[in-house]
Structure 1
Amino acid sequence: MDFGLSAEEWQAVRLSVVVAAQAVTMGLPLAILVSLLLRWPGLPGRTALNIFVHLPLVLPPVVVGWMLLIVFGIRGPIGQILNDWFGIRLVFTANGAALACAVMSFPLMVRAIRLSLDSVDRGLEDAASTLGAKSVDRFFTVTLPLMAPGVVSGAITAYAASLGEFGAVITFASNVPGQTQTLPLAIFTALQTPGGEEAAARLSLISVVLAVAGLLFGEWVGKRLRP
């Protein structure tokens, strides 16, 4: 079998890589913030926030994409403001695909970061406080370095998951070759095309290689960052 990819197939691969990177960039800072909030036992509505954050893990991806359409569509409460005030349109765009991937992979980042946070010795943070370190200083000098393995692991896992996201992307961003057609959507299109089995096999192989490489890299980095 010839594993050489056509120009359109390479475009889908490149777009997947870019979209996945954008998804992690969009979601990681918020995931760190939410993880810190969920660590606070006295946070009002902590249980509700935890449920809301993890909803994409249990909802069908198509439902998540439909919700994004409702909220970020050009007639949605946020999408209309972005479109009318700033000229930013997310629906049926590559940025919209990145948003869909960010939402779907967000719980993965939060879970990894929270696991890392739970292992942070609060005594070290208290010791830094007694030495005069303010909350921001404690976070950057004590908490963040100790939770770094979880942050990196969560980011890489989310990146790998974003490479394979299908339902939310096709619902919110559609399937436009060269614009929103990521690798999973290209595989789907090939399978719907007569005689497209060979193209689907090529793209599936690329998908497997990228996913395995991402997971192996995450394991390697996680081991290097562990004390």
Structure 2
Amino acid sequence: PHKESAAGVLDELDGLARQIGAVNTVVVSGRRLHGFNTDGAGMLDALASDGGMPAAGRRCVVLGAGGGGRAAAFALAAAGASRVAVLNRTERKAQSLADAVRRTAPGCRVEPAPLLVDAVERAVEDAEIVVHATAATMSAAMGGGGGRADWLQGLARRLHRGMAVLDMVYTPAWTELLGEAKAAGATAVSGLSMLVFQGARSFQLWTGRPAPLDVMRQAVGLNELPLKR
């Protein structure tokens, strides 16, 4: 909850942390504090490793423009995605994020849109990567009131083969959205995968050593999930 506040009190930020405006890893070097954000890199690693979908040249959709959505949008654009559609309940916030991403990755087509059924269906129809970065799937799993959001139902109708779907939610580790992705022939990527890979990036920054990925995956139960198509 303090990622954004931390970014404002450190001595130095790496490029992605500065763009996102949030820090999840602090490295002490002498008397200076260096801030990093490994969320975006962890997401890219998860998509490439467990999703079989490197971001370069891909048509991508990011659902949500909060902290996770910001990290996803900047990271996908920086990795060479051809298009990043950013959808958010408040369209003004989606527009603001899209404008910021365009300034850092002018070669990427960044398209803001409201988080509504029609807009979601249009964005996802030809997408190759979909990143869900709202709390909607967690709320549904926890029995949140109001039923399932209409736009999630629209999303489910447009999932297809040749697509990787990453749900940043990792409680639960296997969400209804991931089940729908797998049923549609897409590759489902759990938020646990992103958690492991961003943690591995942080581990390497702190220790200078490669992280024990196999041990980390086993510890969180990632290998037990039905992730592949």
TM-score, reference length from structure 2: 0.25
**Quick one: higher RCO (CA 8 Å, sep 6+), 1 or 2?**
1
TM-score, reference length from structure 1: 0.25
